[in-house]
Structure 1
Amino acid sequence: MLKHLLKQPKQSELQEIEHVKFLIILKIAYFALAVHVVLIPVFAHIGAVTLAIVNVLSVCAWAGGIFLIKQGLTSLALRVFCLEVVIHSTIVCAMLGLDAGFQFYLWTVSCLLMIDYQLTLKRASLYSVLMIIAFALLYVFFSNTNYPFAYSELLPHIKIINIIIAGLPMIYGMGLIREITLSQRLELTEMAARDPLTKLFNRRFAKRLIMNARKNCINNNSPLCMAMADIDQFKRINDNYGHDKGDTILVNISRLISEFMSEDDIAVRWGGEEFLLILTQSNERQAFAKIEALRTKIAVLEAHPDCPDLKVTMSFGLIEWQPLTPIEKMLQYADSALYESKHSGRNKTTIVHAQSTFFENED
């Protein structure tokens, strides 16, 4: 299922990915633009006029790239940035040598290329590797180049500053990618856990939640109740009004059930028109009162806006969970109580105890 979801992401997910990518690249672009603006007077001050002119051109390149991003041409902007960094790093290293640390910016763009989703993974990886090769070649060609300008004693500090500046965009970008990855992972987990129609928990996932709730109640010595519920004569509703209206009724009832549940309670679409409700921190009396309030509310609910005369009722089977009783046995008890409600007039709540004795509410 997860594989299917990953192959067919929702439009909202794709938009979120693109928005995060837009933020990453745009903020890095503004950061790089500011760095190049600062470098213009710095290079002019030390007498490296050629490098000052190069940085003027770099400012133009990054400003143009920012314009492209805002026009929706993010992939093209990325390639402009990569070309600028390669040219700028090569020229600066050729004139200043490697001790100033300008070669480390190639690592930054090698990472940026990996988020260009218009490139295939193979091609993006290839371009990133080429950036690393370019980094290595700078050491091959310019390792013996000496720094010829003023303030040579500051080179170790300048190198550290360049390493930090080159690393910050990578940390920022990876941080945002991490956040979106975690967000998507949680969303996929949520999608796998929920019934797509009613948004209640599905049967497969709910068993894990129920066992955790039971464990917590045992540890805290607090009561827990289980209620099996079923929409009365739902097949006839589907036959008479159609499955679309039947689905709408399921959604409306599920929404009402969710409103009645506390934060720690668990509402499950058990199958078809059947629901399972786990009421934590509730003894039999408290759970019965809550279920009765829900049952009464459902009976007067406008089940479908196009059918104001259509009234829907639900039957319930309720049991307080005994700590040593297995979940399968408790489900059987709750189901038998539901059966009793259905076959004694419907629209009722029947309480069953572990000894299989029944108590019905009086309408």
Structure 2
Amino acid sequence: MDNQVLASPTPSDQNTSAELFRKMMLGVSVMCGFTHLAFLVLFHLNGIKDMAVINVGSILCYVLTFGLAWRHRVNWAWMLITTEVVGHAVLAVFYVGWDSGFHIYIMCVPPVMVVSTLPLWRGKVPVVVGLMALYLWLDVARRDAAPLFELDRSVLNGLHYFTVVTALTILVLLAGMYYRFVLQSEQQLREMATTDPLTRLRNRRSVLDTSVAEAVKQRRDGRPLSFILCDVDHFKTVNDTHGHEAGDDVLKAVAKILRSGVREVDHAARWGGEEFLLLLPETASPGAELVANRLREAIAALRVPGKDGPLNVTMTFGISNLHLDEPIDQAIARADKALYRGKHGGRNRVELATEDVLLRA
């Protein structure tokens, strides 16, 4: 019933920039950890023991940042990553020279800093400006300076291109990760905007939008479209006698039955308060009556746990069929009138709109 109910978002899935950035930090920690493992092997094979040891420390650093991000200490993780990337790049430029390309890693930091959760003026702006200044200083001071450790030109060229490819790969992966997280966030926003938070059914605005689309199909193909408006009987008494928490439990239990009692192509929504609306495409009044009576019986058999014992629940249903070129709100209003008659006729019953009764006769 994917078109009727949407899964409740968990706390870790909440659509916040902090959560997106936390997930990014987890990915960054993994990517950088493997990158420095490759550097560890490279420096070890070329006899640069100091840089090999530094890369061991870098790997441990990224293990720590992964743990911090996992525990939602995102800002600490990001500051530690920034310190490691910049420090490692500066040391590498001094040890093996500007031509090694390690300075490029500094350029990877500002884009991520911009989307970080640090405060704009106290965190992001000073760090970004400082990194720009550091990069320019390194360019001026170390571009033509002799490195502390001279590498063979072929090894240096290989290290340079490895660094360039690695930096570009990290940037592309970061952009891809963030793009995917943004898409997920947009989907969560759409779900939140179209879902009733209590019952997890569609909300009023969502089902009205869907009704418009279904009405277009109905007018184009000449297929029937039915509305079922239903209301929990004596719901105010439930709230007054047993409390609003019990009332919420009743609504959730009723919503579960409505959700599971219709087809995959149908739409169940919370209309407001204790009222629900069912939209049944390609269903005429007789079929809608069968659905409504089946749901009515299932709800009448429902026993909702309460503090003072199980609560009995019944519902009254009003049905209308959308007539050709009839406005949607008019068809829903006719279902509402049928529901009103059902309430005054004794409740726990199904009533068909008067016009549809006459047409069927």
* Larger relative contact order (Cα-Cα within 8 Å, sequence gap ≥ 6): 2
Q: 1:242 to 1:103 in 2, by over 3 A?
A: closer
CA contact 1:225–1:319 (8 Å) conserved in 2: yes
Percent identity over the alignment is: 26
CA contact 1:350–1:358 (8 Å) conserved in 2: no
Q: 1:64 to 1:198 in 2, by over 3 A?
A: closer
Look up the match of 1:301: 302
Secondary structure, aligned partner of 2:173: helix
Secondary structure, aligned partner of 2:98: coil
Report the Cα offset of residue 80 of structure 1.
Answer: 4.2
Separation of aligned partners in 2, 1:83 and 1:22: 14
* TM-score, structure 2 as length reference: 0.81
CA contact 1:315–1:346 (8 Å) conserved in 2: yes
Look up the match of 1:6: none
Secondary structure, aligned partner of 2:127: helix
Report the Cα offset of residue 237 of structure 1.
Answer: 3.2
Report the Cα offset of residue 150 of structure 1.
Answer: 5.6
Q: Which residue among 42, 55, 60 is the counterpart of 1:39? A: 42
Look up the match of 2:110: 110
Q: Which residue among 59, 62, 65 is the counterpart of 1:62? A: 59
Separation of aligned partners in 1, 2:243 and 2:360: 35
CA contact 2:33–2:62 (8 Å) conserved in 1: no
Secondary structure, aligned partner of 1:93: helix
Look up the match of 2:4: none
Report the Cα offset of residue 74 of structure 1.
Answer: 5.7
Deviations 1:144-175 (A, max 9, x none): 34789565357665433211201222332333
Q: 1:96 to 1:36 in 2, by over 3 A?
A: closer
1:83 is matched by which residue type in structure 2?
T
CA contact 1:37–1:55 (8 Å) conserved in 2: yes
Q: 1:225 to 1:169 in 2, by over 3 A?
A: same
1:221-260 paired onto structure 2 within 5 Å: 221-260=222-261
1:1-363 paired onto structure 2 within 5 Å: 11-12=11-12, 13=14, 17=20, 20-44=23-47, 49=48, 52-67=49-64, 69-70=66-67, 75-94=75-94, 96-114=96-114, 117=117, 119-122=118-121, 123-145=123-145, 149=150, 151-152=152-153, 158-306=159-307, 308=309, 310-352=311-353, 354=355, 357=358
Deviations 1:48-68 (A, max 9, x none): x4xx41332232243144236
1:215 is matched by which residue type in structure 2?
V
Separation of aligned partners in 2, 1:85 and 1:18: 18
CA contact 1:318–1:351 (8 Å) conserved in 2: yes
Q: 1:163 to 1:216 in 2, by over 3 A?
A: farther
Separation of aligned partners in 1, 2:298 and 2:343: 18
CA contact 2:316–2:343 (8 Å) conserved in 1: yes
CA contact 1:58–1:84 (8 Å) conserved in 2: no
Report the Cα offset of residue 312 of structure 1.
Answer: 2.1
Secondary structure, aligned partner of 1:201: coil
Q: Relative to structure 2, which stretch is displaced further, 63-72 or 223-232?
A: 63-72
Segments of 5+ residues of structure 2 without an aligned counterpart are 1-8
Q: 1:31 to 1:129 in 2, by over 3 A?
A: farther
1:23 is matched by which residue type in structure 2?
L
Separation of aligned partners in 1, 2:208 and 2:320: 17
RMSD: 3.2
1:41 is matched by which residue type in structure 2?
H
* TM-score, structure 1 as length reference: 0.81
Count of residue correspondences: 345
